[in-house]
Structure 1
Amino acid sequence: MSAPILDRYIHALLQTLLMVSVSMAIAIVAGLIIAVVLNATAVDGLYPKPRLNKTLSIVINMFRAIPFIILLVALLPVTRFIVGTTLGTWAAIVPLSANLIPFFARIAQVSLNSVEPGLIEAARAMGCRRWHIVRHVLLPEALPSILGGMTVTAIAMIDTSAMAGAVGGGGLGDMAIRYGYERYETQVMFMVIVILIALVSIVQFAGEWLARRTDHKR
């Protein structure tokens, strides 16, 4: 493999990593906040507010029902306002984040809901404030499951970033379409697939390792 071709692969990989890492950071922070709100405002939650809970849940379901390619187009004005352009790696981060926030929010919500109710009741009996219960009971107990959810979200983000690359977002997807498909260079397509498989495998291994390290029940 010549140096220019190798540089092309490295550049595409770095663009994909940038898209995935920044979008993941946004999706995790926003999704976790939404999940905590959903858990706390449930009927049996720490701050029961059924109307708020139902409204937020409906909004999340609406966003989850929109296919990524449609969401990408629908958010073009928002992307242009935030980034200043609708093309390139940074422009792809906006729809990627919007697509994965509700996805991760649901995963994190399930993790929080699975925390043993007895632990929460015990913390309440000890006089802990509700925010302290969220911080010191809910989140630590759900952490291994949340990390598993982050792994699933990261892998979904890698898959979606390849789709974003097909519409001008850059990265490995853009390289596969531009050189592998349009120029009939099957070797490029094959190499991109190999790199994506390796990337997903590394993320899966790292996520499982972190989940095991933080699971104090084992």
Structure 2
Amino acid sequence: MSATTEKYVAALGETLLMVGVSSVIAIGVGLMLAVVLTVTGPRGLYARPRFHKGLSIVVNIFRAVPFIILLVALLPVTRALTGTTLGTWAAVVPLSISLIPFYARIAQVSLNDVDSGLIEAARAMGCRRWHIVRHVLLPEALPGIIGGMTVTVIAMINASAMAGAVGAGGLGDLAIRYGYERYETRVMFEVIVVLVALVSLLQFSGEWLSRKVNHRF
């Protein structure tokens, strides 16, 4: 394997590591947030209007902060958690925190779109509220939840490229250090091709899986 190929393989590996770990955290926490926001809403299974409003404001605040600003603002937190502010693992912290509220809102929309008649029917049958969440709300919203995962992971790839510009490594770092700073246009073009191919693969896979779990078709 040539030195050039090794650079691309290493950069791709760093990007996949960043995106993979951050996606698991962001999607896991984001989905929990979405469920809490849905069930505590004014007409939710565990209606808590004040709590719902407060949590919603917090989610909106984090959603409103641009990633590059959040990246800098979280440097003390990143250093405390990882011991450094540079490298792949350091990028996982801001990437996760940035995409948690993003995915939470997408998943919440899917959960809110579930037919209220199904929920009322389950309640009339005597189902416990948690069972309704587990066996009615989440399964019915699953196609939208998976679609939201696809959008989130793609957004994560875009953000990871941006993080590469400030020392996070990965394909973004490769494009900046070689393609921009050393004026190697070919490197920049090749990184773009790899990113487009990666995003296209994720989009195709996400759409296929979403259709697969959609029992309405």
Q: Report if TM-score (shorter chain) is over 0.5.
A: yes
Q: 1:158-169 alignment to 2 at 5 Å? A: 158-169=157-168
Amino acid of the structure 2 residue aligned with 1:124:
R
Residue 34 of structure 2 is matched in structure 1 by 35
Taking only aligned residues, the RMSD between alpha carbons, in angstroms, comes to 0.6
Counterpart Cα distance in 1 of 2:6 and 2:183: 20
Residue 214 of structure 2 is matched in structure 1 by 215
Residue 17 of structure 2 is matched in structure 1 by 18
| In the alignment, structure 1 residue 173 sits paired with structure 2 residue 195 | no
Superimposed CA distance per residue, residues 88-126 of structure 1 (whole angstroms, 9 cap, x where no aligned partner): 000000000000000000000000000000000010011
Deviation, structure 1 residue 36:
0.3
Q: Unaligned stretches of 5+ in structure 1?
A: none
Deviation, structure 1 residue 153:
0.4
Q: Unaligned stretches of 5+ in structure 2?
A: none
| In the alignment, structure 1 residue 124 sits paired with structure 2 residue 123 | yes
Amino acid of the structure 2 residue aligned with 1:157:
M
Residue 111 of structure 1 is matched in structure 2 by 110
Counterpart Cα distance in 1 of 2:63 and 2:30: 12
Counterpart Cα distance in 2 of 1:186 and 1:5: 14
Amino acid of the structure 2 residue aligned with 1:12:
A
Normalised TM-score (structure 2): 0.99
Aligned length: 217
Normalised TM-score (structure 1): 0.99
Deviation, structure 1 residue 81:
0.6
